[in-house]
Structure 1
Amino acid sequence: MAGAGTGVQDRAEEFEQLRPLLFSIAYRILGSVSEAEDAVQETWLRYETTTTRPDSLKSFLSTVVTRISIDVLRSARVRREEYVGDWLPEPLLSDPYEDPARAAELADSVSMAALLLLERLSPLERAVFVLREVFGFGYPEVAEAVGRTEAACRQLSARARKHMEEGRTRFDADREAREELAARFFAALREGKVEGLQELLSADVQLVGDGGGKAPQLARHVQGADKVARLMAGAFPPVFSIGTIVDAREINGQPGALFRDREGNVAVAVLLDIVDGEIAAIRSVINPDKLGHLAPLADVWAMKDEWNRTRRG
């Protein structure tokens, strides 16, 4: 019994070392923190009951979590087609997996823009792209993970890579400059001046909100600097007058902020795409189902009532 217990402990320790990688693979395939965590937990349960020792634990566990994620994604796609309004990935504050040799690929692939591009791929293309192009797995490992031949995986990878390159957003690389622009944006929101906001926005800026039909939201989808600036300038000063806190954060590798109520509970996550020194997209996730992993949740309906009273006043 002691030997068996030690074996379980050893397995658990080995698994924990690979957990960051497994989560990062699953999150990029699924675009969901909660579903990725479930996929990793299911991977552990399968590994715990495996009677044979794999030649490469990394390859074995990556295969298991990839296959689980593909199955989850296929069922999730039906739900996303019926989703109320625009669907956005669940915000991620920090990616637990680090690999200096692939830092650029890891950072690019976790942005909201990249995850939304990945949504357009088939589940197999998405999995192959994530394993091959993001994490640098060899084609034999990729083929084993998705249950296809190496030749088929090369074709899948080529199609996925072409699609991702065509739609890729070239974000500003200067982190300090991005953070400074984001700070100016949130300050302009507080002031509520249309001109102050307009000068920070690209001409075709997009404002996208994801409430999922479960939370009030400013707008689902608005495009154009003038429309976006006027909408936000009119709506946000009352938001701050009710004690809303802007907690500036890097979210999905891009500048953003968590908007919190006066008690510090999270109401919404806002992410900014900054391209050529301008804000090209503003994405807000307010669906409470997508924010629970970040912190205790605010009562956004109560906040809306207080906001309405302030505006009328």
Structure 2
Amino acid sequence: MTRAEEFQELRPLLFSIAYRILGSVGEAEDAVQEAWLRYDAYPGRPASAKAFLAATVSRIAIDVLRSARVRREQYTGRWFPEPLLADPYEDPERSAELADSLSMAALLLLERLSPLERAVFVLREVFGFGFGEVAAAVGRSEAACRQLAVRARRHMEAGRARFETDRRERDELAGRFFDAFRDGDVDGLRDLLAADVRMVGDSGGNAPLWGTGVFGAGKVARVLAGIAGPFVRIGGVVQPHEVNGQPGAIFRDRDGRIVNTLTLDILSGRVQTIRAVINPDKLRHLGPVADAWAIVREANQARRPTPRP
């Protein structure tokens, strides 16, 4: 197998590692491309292409994350990871860890870790690398990596909610949620929401947003129903789709351009959190992006009663 063929075979794994460390599709793709350049320029052949490339992409991602921290601290409003519609890497033996680590909730918990803790957690707990390989990747001793892993697990467990494990029930509830949303059914929506549900979004100041969030089943149900009718009337489409391994949807305008993505956190048969990514800069990798401001203006116009002749 040629060096290029080895890299292409490992590319899905490398992207999946980089995305979980960075929470950014574009930055993850750049990290993978840089890993290839370093691999291609490396003299000789490493004993393990997988170990070499995983270590290389991890070190690149750690450096990128350190510089990105300043930008994220200065970010306008809430920062969410860029939505991912499908994870290119599949491993049946670690499917549970892979799915859990991809959710918006898990990626936001990872944001609380230091770059080194985050990389160690991703490599060890998500992808199952040995501590020797992890140590080589992050430039620390095995003992130090074990301590980093313990701290990272503690932080993740402290903040982690136990999400619905029955996929069939979860998907059935999500289907009912989006049916009620499209119908503007306030009561139907309220019945599916936890009493303390929260609806929050990431616009980065580049798209309209409902303030700092909407909280409580009654308010969230009314806001959702108020959005749905005008959006559908102007030709908007709500396309149910898994986003970051969770039930979600892609909102498109009448021309098929993306307005936003939505994900649902589901626990105990209720929707606990609704997260919307509206920042157009975080949606461009999914396809052409709509002008959300224009959509809101048109939807507001559709809310107004037609004047009588």
TM-score category, normalised to shorter length: over 0.9
In the alignment, structure 1 residue 195 sits paired with structure 2 residue 168 = no
Deviations 1:181-228 (A, max 9, x none): 112111222222322211100011110111111111234322211221
Among candidates 66, 71, 77, match of residue 58 of structure 2: 66
| Matching residue of 1:14 | 6
2 CA distance for matches of 1:33 and 1:169?
A: 25
- Report the TM-score when normalising by structure 1: 0.95
| Matching residue of 2:289 | 297
- Report the TM-score when normalising by structure 2: 0.96
| Matching residue of 2:279 | 287
| Matching residue of 2:105 | 113
Give 1:59 deviation, angstroms. 0.7
Gap regions ≥5 residues in structure 1 = 1-8
Contact 1:210/1:220, CA 8 A, preserved across alignment: no
1 CA distance for matches of 2:84 and 2:261?
A: 10
Amino acid paired to 1:129: F
2 CA distance for matches of 1:52 and 1:205?
A: 56
2 CA distance for matches of 1:265 and 1:230?
A: 26
Gap regions ≥5 residues in structure 2 = none
| Matching residue of 2:298 | 306
| Matching residue of 1:213 | 205
| Matching residue of 1:183 | 175
| Matching residue of 1:75 | 67
Contact 2:193/2:270, CA 8 A, preserved across alignment: yes
2 CA distance for matches of 1:222 and 1:44?
A: 44
2 CA distance for matches of 1:263 and 1:184?
A: 26
5 Å-filtered alignment, 1:19-34, equals: 19-34=11-26
Deviations 1:218-268 (A, max 9, x none): 343222112211222223211111111111111111100000111111110
Deviations 1:36-70 (A, max 9, x none): 00100111111111112111111110111000000
Give 1:150 deviation, angstroms. 0.5
Deviations 1:5-53 (A, max 9, x none): xxxx921111000000000000000011111001001111111111121
5 Å-filtered alignment, 1:254-269, equals: 254-269=246-261
5 Å-filtered alignment, 1:40-59, equals: 40-59=32-51
Give 1:269 deviation, angstroms. 0.3
Contact 2:182/2:238, CA 8 A, preserved across alignment: no
2 CA distance for matches of 1:13 and 1:142?
A: 24
2 CA distance for matches of 1:296 and 1:177?
A: 33
1 CA distance for matches of 2:251 and 2:70?
A: 30
2 CA distance for matches of 1:12 and 1:244?
A: 43
**Aligned-partner SS, 2:201:** strand
Give 1:84 deviation, angstroms. 0.7
**CA RMSD of the aligned region, Å?**
1.2
Give 1:83 deviation, angstroms. 0.7
2 CA distance for matches of 1:20 and 1:214?
A: 31
**Aligned-partner SS, 2:264:** strand
Deviations 1:114-141 (A, max 9, x none): 0000000000000000000000000010
Give 1:156 deviation, angstroms. 0.3
Deviations 1:262-306 (A, max 9, x none): 111111000001111100010000111111111211222221121
In the alignment, structure 1 residue 132 sits paired with structure 2 residue 124 = yes
Amino acid paired to 1:245: V
2 CA distance for matches of 1:17 and 1:219?
A: 44
2 CA distance for matches of 1:153 and 1:292?
A: 36
Among candidates 234, 241, 252, match of residue 233 of structure 2: 241
1 CA distance for matches of 2:70 and 2:303?
A: 39
Contact 1:207/1:220, CA 8 A, preserved across alignment: no
In the alignment, structure 1 residue 147 sits paired with structure 2 residue 136 = no
